[in-house]
Amino acid sequence: MASLNSPRFTMMNIIIGFTIVFALEVGKSNCQDNFFNSTTSPKTLCEMTPYPNACYYIQKEGVNDSLLLYKLSVQLSIQEVLRVSTVLNQTFKDMKDPSLISAIESCQILLSLSLNNLNQSIPTTSFVTPDTQHDFQTWLSAADADLETCIDGFEYATDNIRNIVNQNLDNSTKLISNSLSIISKIDDLIHDDKQGKLRTNGWPPSWLSSEDKSLFLNESKQMKPDIVVAGDGTGNFKTINEAIRVVPPFSPRRFVIYVKKGVYFENVRIGYTKVNVMIFGDGMDQTIVSAKLSNGSGVATFLSATFAVDGSGFIARDIGFYNTAGPTRFQAVALLSTADKSVFYRCRIDGYQDSLYAHSSRQFYRECSIYGTIDFIFGRSSVVIQKSNILVKKPLFGQENTITADLRRSPQFFTGISIQLCNISAAEYLGGARTFLGRPLKSYSTTIFLENVLNSLIDPQGWFYGTPNAVPPDTIFYAEYKNKGPGAVIGGRVKWRGLRLNIPFA
């Protein structure tokens, strides 16, 4: 593979600049020596926010510094999320319905994740660098995604309960949106050469240290794990959950766990305090984590994951994640990541609907095998999937397959899906089911397929909206660029204004 800095990616630079700096903004900026402290007035920044009145409430207290305005906006967001957590606990403490209990449990985890993302987004100095600013934008986008997912968990609740949740989270989402707008506008006004730059240096991701990069280059037998997990009792522990419990919180050093070959029937969650963890196995088909929780069994989609990771800096290599609930159990996640700067290398993610939940933050997948039916690569993250096999399974009778479902709801969020240099094919006979590259679930859904092999399973229309004779908002951004194979023929593609097909360049 050629470097993403090579001349052949010049056109792709323009594509990214034309849309947003999103999923491919997984590396570091080249502007590390630039600092900025905005001279733009707080009042001007408030006027440009999505919810000016909420911003004026802060600004009227005599705030005359833009960075201070941003900081106070984030701090007020934190206070609101803390308040909501308390209110929801008290409001729903006597609920007996299992699906509602699961939604509340999911929401409490998500509120804690949102608080963690918000706390990270507070400046600790009187200036910020471009890199720090991009971090803030990523974490604020993730904090918003956490709240949106909390709301999603109550989709089957009564109107009254949904209204209670929505009303309580309304102020939090507005404040986070304003905070993101303020820090983004400072960036636009002071440092305006960001657009058009592809912020990735290929593989491995440039955020990794030289030591971490060696973890992908060395053979497994050369690795020196801190802990060994073996189901047969030949390691330190028999289960992955036991190993996770001994990982020190917020460790600055890489903590490596080796999981020997075998099938581990457990649901694993690596919390946000467990950072810089690496798990590696004996191969994606040799070391397998398997479970079968599902939305169809009354579990919130966010909690259905066989393997979920929240701790930043996570790495997985040579391991498989399965959800065996099957197509009749609806949403059933095999792998979920909210972990910023997480990397998955030579992993298998196998399920049906919602197999890979790339929930939020920056994620990179390389040489993986991803199986599913409906929306099986979805979320609100900035995710790059490279040189992987994407394999479509047979859905239930009458269903269509949709590979991707991006959930970007606002232009200011740094999110989107990029699928590059992958092979997209059928895992089995599909029984005549149509297969589409994706469907837009939000007004700003953003997905790019570039330089892939699209086999004949891809429907000539390419993309699916779901509502007969309707078109999605013009604000979506879907693109196909230099794909090949029988499924890459674009003559029959849907006529959406938000779909770009092999954009010509001067």
Q: Specify burial of residue 262 (Cβ count, 10 A radius: 0-12, 13-18, 19+).
A: middle
What tokens were used for 127? 């200036």
d(CA 423, CA 390): 6
d(CA 111, CA 230): 34
d(CA 447, CA 417): 5
Question: What are residue 72's phi and psi, to 5 degrees?
Answer: -65, -35
Residue type, 424: I
Residue 391, beta-bridge partner list = 371, 425
- Mind giving me the DSSP string for 354-395? T-EEE-SSEEEEES-EEEESEEEEEESSEEEEES-EEEEPP-
Q: Which residue intervals of 191-248 are DSSP H helices? A: 210-217, 240-245
Residue among 311, 301, 447 at smallest CA distance from 381: 447
Place of tokens 């092979």: 423
Q: Is 375 an annotated catalytic residue?
A: yes
Q: Which of 318, 340, 350, 375 is catalytic?
A: 375
* 3 state SS for 57-81: HHHCCCCCCHHHHHHHHHHHHHHHH
d(CA 439, CA 353): 14
d(CA 50, CA 173): 11
Determine contact, residues 121/274, Cβ cutoff 8 Å: no
Collapse the DSSP code of 218 into the 3-class scheme (helix H, G, I; strand E, B; otherwise coil) and give the result: coil
Stated as kind and residue range, the H or E segment containing 501 is strand 499-501
- CA within 13 Å, CB half, 244: 20
- CA within 13 Å, CB half, 452: 28
Torsion of Cα atoms, 96 then 97 then 100 then 105, to 10°: 50
Q: Specify burial of residue 181 (Cβ count, 10 A radius: 0-12, 13-18, 19+).
A: buried
Helix axes 159-190, 52-59, angle to 10 degrees: 70
Look at the alpha carbons of 244, 371, 152, 409 in this order and tell me if their dihedral is positive or negative. positive
Which residues are annotated as catalytic? Answer: 375
